[in-house]
Structure 1
Amino acid sequence: MGTVHALLAGIDAYPADICTPLTGCLNDVEAAEELLVRRAGGRLELTKLLNGDATVSAITAGVRHRLGRAGPGDTALFWFSGHGTEQPATERAHLDIEATGRCQALVCADGLLVDKRLGALLDEVAAGGVHTVAVLDCCYAGGATRGRHLTERFASPGAAWFAAAARDARMPEQPAKHVLLAATRLDQSSYEGRFEGRTHGLFSHALLGALRAASPTATYREVHAAARSRLEVSCTYQRPTLAPAEPGGIADQPFLGGTGARTPSPYLLWKDRRDGWQVDCGSGHGLPAGPGTEFRVTRPDTPRRAPERTAAAGRTVRAATVGVERTLVEPVSWSPKPAEVYPVALSALAVPPASVALTAPDEPAAARALARAIAGAGPGGGPSPLLHRVERLEDAGALLFRIEARGGQAHVLRRDGSPFVAPLPLDGPEDADRVAACLVHLTRWHQLRDLEAPHSPLTGRVRLEITPWDSDVPLVPDGDGEIACRYGLGPAGPVPPRVSVRIRHPATTGRRLWCVLLDLTDSYASHTGLFDDGRFVGPGRTGYALDNRPVQLSLPAHRPPRPGAVVRDWLKLIVCEGELNTVPFHLDRWDPLAPLGSRGTALRHADGLLRFDAPPRSSRDAHPEEAGGAGQWATQTVQVRTEVPRC
């Protein structure tokens, strides 16, 4: 495995007379550096250009002479966090290739670097057999190779800057040889916001979170789709872009060529003389930082040679302090042997609560009612572990609900001001409780959708595939991170697409694995009926949704299939060593008219943990539960967009 050459450029301190200074770009670079050090270790050669050092000439030279030192088998990464800009394309050569009629550029400390020029520089590096990738967190980044309560990463410098930058901007003569992960589409702005008191670009925050949770073999396409899903929680009008996105190309190679990271192995529990019992998994692996997560001892592969471990199978330890590389834990109702090392698996995940910011300056009575309802949204009228009130938006976590009470309604909004659901009335005595129930429901849904097992040894062992019903060629997410399926046109009107949903288990794993397929809908529902609430799939075998009958992707009954109509589903595959109780994974769709007493989902999660327990023994007599419960587990998520063409 070759060297990873990285050039990281971040600019916060822009001249005030040119554009608005930013506050999150250096944080982006710092977090990217931390991730690269973890992934590449001693094989990393890193160059950083910060603030005034990130000039046009310095970035150009950095790409040519720093990244240009990479050779065949090496990896080159260029990361830019800062302002982007655009201007009308005036030269004929530019007009021929700019679909928007405008040129895009990175705003460096002293001028502009036109996107096409940057692309050519990166392709020069890639031409030497170097695995080359660019990450651009700036406006209009989709052409290159950050609304309300958010700071836009857009600048509008004078025309002279563009004239100077365009003089040496060559037009590409062939398709790009490098892969691009861009914060936006070609015509969109990108934004930065605050997460738990620290500012980041929305895209950088989402991408780095996806990478921390990803396996060493995750591809650009998989990482991009995961980052896009994370970003949607904050902003609906910034769409990350992957290019080139053609199936089988560089987008389907491992991120940074895989970087030689070790293959994940089962977590281990052992006792340190100074700190006590610990598990070799921490926040750096994607584990939530708060306490409460639990691990369960699994049955060893060779029980006869490990009688002590076999006897302990099914015992639990609970996280007390989550560090970067390890988690200090406390045994629950048992005493491990100090000299023993036990294999463990995540058995209960303390997923972070949603942050709730409440504003109602003109309706104090509504504000008081909402505050009481949110504070008593848990079982028995107590606090809910799923919700956390924040007074300032900058203290919020990744999932933020902005509740604005105005005009007799409660508006449940994202960071960017777009709605999660239609406004809810604030007229009757139960209305505030309904808003709180909505927040609990939405939190639960997002926790399921974004569920990932940090560095699981089962990641990638079983694959979820979606193919057209009349084809065996799997569909792949496009440059927007979604699998697009379109209605056809029949004699009686629009015809829903039909697909085959398959769960493929390669023969190389050597053992059967329990597979659960969740369908999470954009009506905030989750169900497991596509694959019989879960089944074992043996090595070398394929499981089929609906027993190999076609899966019809259609708009729900309350959404007529008019031209331009869209519905989204997130299909999440959960793979386990043992059978899994799927009760915690079921949610009805959000219905504001449903009686409050019918919402029992919150009671299943009274402690704020998502548990990976085995089902009752009597439910699966043919496959008795192994000691250790569900054991190791992993997930894969595929986002599907079903749409009715406009013409």
Structure 2
Amino acid sequence: METVYALLVGINEYPAAMRAGLRGCLNDVAGARAALEAAAPGRVRARVLTDGAATAAAVEEGILGHLGRAGAGDTALLWFSGHGTEYPALTPQELLLEPTGRCQALVCVDGPLPDKRLGTLLDGAATGGARVVAVLDCCFSGGASRAEEGAVARVLAPLPQWRPAAGARDLSGPARPAGHVLLAASRIGQPSYERPVESPEGPRIQGVFSYALTRALRRAAPGATVRELLAEADAGVRRLVAGQQPVLFPAEPGGPADRPLLGGTARRPSPYLLREGPEGWEVDCGRVHGLTGGAGTEFTASGGRPVRATTVRADRTLVAPEGWTPDPGSVHAVALSALALPPAAVVLDTEGAESTEGAESAEGAEGTERAEDAGRVPLPVSPLLREVAAGSAEEAAAGLLLRVEVRGGRARVLRRDGSPYVPPLPLATDADGARLGDCLTRLVHWHRIRDLSSGLSPLSGHVRVEVLPWHTRDGEPLRPDGNGEVVLSYAGAREPWVTVRLRNTGPRPLWCVLVSLDDRFGAGTDLFPGEFIGPGMTGHALDGQPLRLVLPASRPVRPGASVRDWLTLVVAEGELNTVPFHLSRWEPDADAVRAGAPWRAPADGLLRLAGPGRPPGDRDLLPADPFGPGQWAASTTALRTVVP
């Protein structure tokens, strides 16, 4: 039986010198324990540390001794409710790892426990194969809280004697991925509040995040993932207070965020989530996804239940379920089934072969017929694709054009200038037709990521992507050539090494994610998965490690060989879910569809990008219109690696 080892830490009573007593932390711990035991009856082994017993040494020993007992298949859970603090990053190592220029720490009853130290301890608890989760209901701001009536911020200014030594970290190689998943009550620079709430035990004071998360856990369906629980807790927090944004890390798809909190296998992440926000039902995507208006935008929940958009905000869309009523406080996975965006134009050149857009076979496979029947070419039914006639005005006006030329049982997917996107594809069976459709939709999705644009944005240009040769990484960044590309050259058989940094030249902290794309139509966020960068501060891709620009194995290192990459920077006022920025490279053999299996063209739209909601009046640290939408910007840097 999978066991849940829980270390529950709550501190109401801090020493008088701190002048920082709280009232809801012990209630948080009691509520968390009750919710865990209800969700995993008979499987919870809890250790509780409260008030004077919750020293930094006791918390460390609890992680090592109690959570460290968790083995493969078990869950090790730390829940901390108390104060948080931060202090300036001073050492070169701290400045490299803390792009906000501030180091954060939990405040135990006798002093701070730095977050880097905490992360190392939690990762150590994962070495036995356990699933490790940390829930932190404290704030990491330095006292710059905005008090709200009925709410108290859990923040302490650091005492002079609290300055901890810099945490050791091996910088000789790439940083290891985190071995735990973090659910934080608020993002860096924000308070987390406690206030009176109505709990199952009656009226009492609790941390807003602890209350929302335990409520989500009590109401969740069995097997709800960490991502889904946080989505509901996020909405619950925003229904109670403004200016507090819960955070999930790491948020990469298929990782610990997509596993059930208390046991079970990872699930494929949902592109979008429907939840009840402070203004009613909302889906966690918006204009940053490319949605341009409410009309024509539709989502579909399981069972084909429609949800129509009414208002598209910067990072979320207000919606109206049609013909059904979701349970209050619930979270539903939805897919984008209709787009207000113009799709990519597809020209079919088939030497007389007939297109079958929208057709269905006798067997019921949607959007495609057997490719060998009557010489027809299968074009998947997808909001990403629209067939246009060759030589038409629609072809001339298309932003993205895909020309499919069919000759001799093979399909060539060509650009506007006639150059191929991918090698020719066979077109003789249903599986071949499915592969062609998958290729077309993947190409469109890849281009939407690379060419993501916010138009005129006040954030444009505030963060710069700088690429420098590794041996001169403290010098001037490389400049693009006349084609707008940063060109890097092999030195004999040795590939070029570079460092990539993100420099915030603006007046405000901004959240940044760096999406790397290659010319084999893959994309990912491994370089800089998403983090706030403070004004005048610098974030480093791969935590400052070198980025090696290597030709793929299929391209021998010989004069004239080259490879292209792109770095798309997305800058926002708040965190965005990076799930939609992950796209596997186009590998036709690996993506082959079994012969005879029905194939359904994707119907989830331009980008599967989800951003946490942002309530009116939530200005955080940004001098923005308090009633205006959140802002974002995107830019792309092109790289070309060549062999002279």
TM-score tier (shorter): 0.3 to 0.5
Using structure 1 for the length normalisation, give the TM-score. Answer: 0.45
